[in-house]
Amino acid sequence: MIMKNRFPLSEGFTVVLLVSVLGLWQFQRLELLNIAMLYLIPVILSALRHGRMMTLFVSIIAVLALDILFVHPRFTFAVSDSRYFLSFAIMIAVGQLIAYLVEKAAHAKELETSERLQETLLGSLSHELRTPLAAIMGASSGLLTQELNLNSEQKQELYQTIDSGAQRMRRLIDNLLDTARLQSGVLKIKDQECDIPELLGSALAKAEHTITATLMIDKDVPQIRGDTVLIELALFNLLDNAFKYGNTVNVAVSREAFGIMIRICNTGSIPPAHEASMAWRAFSRLSNVRGEEGIGLGLYVAYKIAKMHGGEVETMSDGIQFCATMKLPERGEG
């Protein structure tokens, strides 16, 4: 994607201003053609960063600055030679052409990424879904085979096997669907009041775990603006990861200058530091999770949701514990 800036027009204007100062400083040494080439710098930068519409605005500003400051008669909008109009048109056309090519390249990269994601997805599905499906089919066959003459306890074990396999498949499918929605951009966040401690409690109630999490929540944690359903989903995925691989789980919620920080740490099966820092990436399967279920999407879903709200998710390991930290501003970007 083309990088977006909150103040692209002011950024472009600033670069035009710097080029103008440089041109005036070196006016006696540079030819008009050289100065015109300098004014292509803000046009090209805008084309690389902000798309065609913003590039058009910056191009017009650059053309006006070139005309007023350097084209005879100077300090007027008048142009003594009509050939300059062709030069102005070329400057604008160059900016639009570069912006168009950047957009095409970004689209091609997205398609390539999507294809790689699809290949990885199919490979992961064929492996991860096969195990619970085989367990369900085996238990079902056992229940349907009358020759086995199973007692009630044996039947209960088979029922539990079916239920466990079905739950595992449901979690896999839910994560895949959430990832697909986030990747496609069809999810739009709702602007709601979000009580983080309340959402954290709800996520804890939904997470399957046999250990008790230790909670430390600041008293002055404010409500934030965002989508309650998505933020709860992000918290659930962070907690689910901690419970899955942890012996102990510690959750801390604090108010910071930027907004709210939620840190979820676990001891137990800890990845090395160089792997942990990238654990939020899609399909990350770290060395500490060998033999465990999952396809590495839970932390990625939390990461994408945080980004949608103008925040971020960071992961790290110090060799003793693994921590996933979600930072959310008091008002999301929406």
> For the segment 308-331, what is each residue's pLDDT rounded down to a tens digit?
889 999 999 988 899 999 999 987
Q: For the ranges 19-28, 61-70, 123-132, which has the lowest average pLDDT?
A: 123-132
- The answer to whether residue 123 is domain-embedded is no
- The answer to whether residue 242 is domain-embedded is yes
pLDDT at 40: 85
Whether residue 117 has pLDDT greater than 70: no
Considering only residues 100 and 108, tell me which one the structure prediction assigns the higher pLDDT: 100
Could you tell me the CATH number of the domain that includes residue 315? 3.30.565.10
User: What whole-number percentage of the chain has pLDDT above 70?
Assistant: 79
Answer yes or no: do 137 and 202 share one domain.
no
Answer yes or no: do 99 and 172 share one domain.
no
- The answer to whether residue 247 is domain-embedded is yes
Q: For the chain, what is the domain count?
A: 3
pLDDT at 97: 83
> Residues 225-254: what's their mean pLDDT?
90
- The answer to whether residue 163 is domain-embedded is yes
Whether residue 226 has pLDDT greater than 50: yes
Answer yes or no: do 197 and 237 share one domain.
yes
- Please classify residue 44 by burial: count the beta carbons closer than 10 Å to its beta carbon, then call 0-12 exposed, 13-18 middle and 19+ buried: middle
Q: For the ranges 144-148, 222-226, 233-237, which has the lowest average pLDDT?
A: 144-148
Considering only residues 146 and 59, tell me which one the structure prediction assigns the higher pLDDT: 59
> Residues 144-157: what's their mean pLDDT?
80
Answer yes or no: do 135 and 263 share one domain.
no
For the ranges 42-46, 56-60, 259-263, the maximum mean pLDDT occurs at 259-263
Answer yes or no: do 197 and 178 share one domain.
no
Answer yes or no: do 154 and 249 share one domain.
no
Answer yes or no: do 239 and 325 share one domain.
yes
Answer yes or no: do 178 and 85 share one domain.
no
- The answer to whether residue 115 is domain-embedded is no
> Residues 117-141: what's their mean pLDDT?
67
Domain that holds residue 38: 8-108
- The answer to whether residue 310 is domain-embedded is yes
- What are phi and psi for residue 253, nearest 5 degrees? -120, 125
- The answer to whether residue 20 is domain-embedded is yes
Answer yes or no: do 282 and 320 share one domain.
yes
Answer yes or no: do 23 and 87 share one domain.
yes
CA angle 63, 69, 73 (to 5 degrees): 100
Whether residue 144 has pLDDT greater than 80: no
Answer yes or no: do 61 and 150 share one domain.
no
- Please classify residue 174 by burial: count the beta carbons closer than 10 Å to its beta carbon, then call 0-12 exposed, 13-18 middle and 19+ buried: middle
Answer yes or no: do 221 and 312 share one domain.
yes
- Average model confidence (pLDDT) across the chain: 80
Considering only residues 179 and 222, tell me which one the structure prediction assigns the higher pLDDT: 222
pLDDT at 149: 79
Considering only residues 266 and 171, tell me which one the structure prediction assigns the higher pLDDT: 266
Q: How far is CA 23 from CA 106, 172, 274, in A?
A: 33, 60, 48
C-alpha closest to that of 294 among 248, 246, 245: 245
pLDDT at 5: 45
Instruction: Give counts: helices (H), strands (E), the chain.
Output: 10, 7
- The answer to whether residue 120 is domain-embedded is no
